[in-house]
Amino acid sequence: MNNTEPFLNYSRYLNNKYGCTAYRVSIDGGFSCPNRGEERENPGCTYCSSYGARSAYIGETENDIKNQIDRNLKILTSRYDAKVFMLYFQAYSSTWAPVDQLKAMYDYSLSLGNFKELIVSTRPDCLSEEVCELLASYKTDQFDVWVELGLQSSSDDTLERINRGHTRDQFESAFTMLRSFGLKIAVHLIFGLPGEDHRTMMETVRYTAALRPDGVKLHNLHIPDHTEMFDELAAGEMAIPSSAGHVRYIADAIERFHSETIIMRLTTDTPRNRHSVPGYMLDKTIIYNRVREELLRRGTKQGVFF
Ligand code: SF4
């Protein structure tokens, strides 16, 4: 953070680290998650779409890892003249497989490009000592390994209502285990979940902040159609925060996170063709500027209420 920037933004962190913009190469390793079943056949979390957070860069039908990586590298290079890349297993729960299969998948994928980091997105119930040990084996002084861990809410009532399939205690055990292996951890939270208000959301923020994650991804609630939550919304059983409300939640959250926790995301980044509710799409740059302006207007910054 510097004097003009009220929070530690991910792009700035990467720029400082690599001396230029670094890009994530997002892939779908073909995993599922315990909540969806082996063939991705169950509904899972009540907001889960059939894409399981798969990136638009991958395309909706491409499953071959090499093709995904080649395509992604090509797009990033031609569109942004990208030079620094991080391999990101984004879709579903990318540690939900036997360790030997995981190793084969990570080794092969890492061999397909010159990657500076390995980033793996997963759930608290898809981590074991063996998996953490494997992930830690890729770590060197020059090569970071990050695990992105979904929590979404620290309220067990909310976790049950959205059918997350894990509790806060399970999350905390997974977090502690990752820490003990020296892995970097980014926690995913969602603001605006059904039954939650400002108090419960800030309770989640306080709880997460106290664990001192290396990074956090803060999402606005996005509800794809054909999901249970979409039906809940249509039945008037819940509401979605406005974009102004989301800016307030984000600014309030940033004030509560430690100044060294990297704020990696402020909005959900769903491809437009998968977008259902809310009817507006929160533009990353606009939200970034609004949050920045809000903190400057308040005269506060990240960490003041940590
Ligand atoms: S953990 Fe992720 S992939 Fe699994 S059901 Fe929930 S949102 Fe879907």
**The three-state (H, E, C) secondary structure of 15-64, written as one string:** HHHHCCCEEEEEECCCCCECCCECCCCCCCCCCCCCCCCCCHHHCCCCCC
**Given its phi and psi angles, is residue 10 left (phi above 0), alpha (psi -120 to 50 degrees) or beta?**
alpha
Q: Where are the beta strands (DSSP E) in the chain?
A: 22-27, 84-89, 115-122, 144-152, 184-191, 215-220, 262-265
Binned at pLDDT 50, 70 and 90, residue 55 comes out as: low
Say yes or no to pLDDT of 137 above 90: yes
Contacts of 139 (CB under 8 A, 6+ apart): 145, 182, 183
Q: Which atom of ligand 1 is nearest to 44's Cα?
A: 5
Mean predicted confidence (pLDDT) in 190-198 = 96
3-state secondary structure of 187: strand
Say yes or no to pLDDT of 12 above 90: yes
Mean predicted confidence (pLDDT) in 23-42 = 89
Q: What is the pLDDT of residues 145-187, one digit of tens each?
A: 999 999 999 999 999 999 999 999 999 999 999 999 999 999 9
Q: What is the pLDDT of residues 94-126, one digit of tens each?
A: 999 999 999 999 999 999 999 999 999 999 999
Taking the whole predicted model, whether its pTM rises above 0.85 is answered as yes
Choose one of 28, 35, 163 to mutate for the ligand 1 pocket test, by most ligand atoms within 8 angstroms of C-beta. Answer: 35
Q: How far is the CA of 233 from the centre of ligand 1 (A)?
A: 19
Residues touching ligand 1 (Cβ under 6 Å) are 33, 35-36, 44-45, 48, 52, 92-93, 123, 150
CATH match for 10-298 among 3.20.20.70, 3.90.230.10, 3.30.70.270, 3.20.20.140: 3.20.20.70
What Rg value do the Cα atoms of the chain yield, rounded?
A: 18
Say yes or no to pLDDT of 244 above 70: yes
Residue nearest to atom 8 of ligand 1 (CA): 48
Binned at pLDDT 50, 70 and 90, residue 209 comes out as: very high
Mean predicted confidence (pLDDT) in 125-154 = 97
The confidence score (pLDDT) of residue 50 equals 65
Distance CA(180)–CA(188), nearest Å, equals 20
Residue nearest to atom 6 of ligand 1 (CA): 45
The confidence score (pLDDT) of residue 276 equals 72
- Integer angstrom CA distances of residue 120 from 29, 192, 271: 10, 25, 20
Q: Which atom of ligand 1 is nearest to 36's Cα?
A: 5
Residue nearest to atom 5 of ligand 1 (CA): 44
- What is the DSSP-derived secondary structure letter of residue 126? G
Q: Which atom of ligand 1 is nearest to 42's Cα?
A: 5
Q: Which atom of ligand 1 is nearest to 150's Cα?
A: 1
Q: Which residue has the higher pLDDT, 63 or 204?
A: 204
Q: How far is the CA of 295 from the centre of ligand 1 (A)?
A: 32
Closest CA to 263 of 306, 200, 203: 306
Q: How far is the CA of 151 from the centre of ligand 1 (A)?
A: 11
Q: How far is the CA of 124 from the centre of ligand 1 (A)?
A: 11
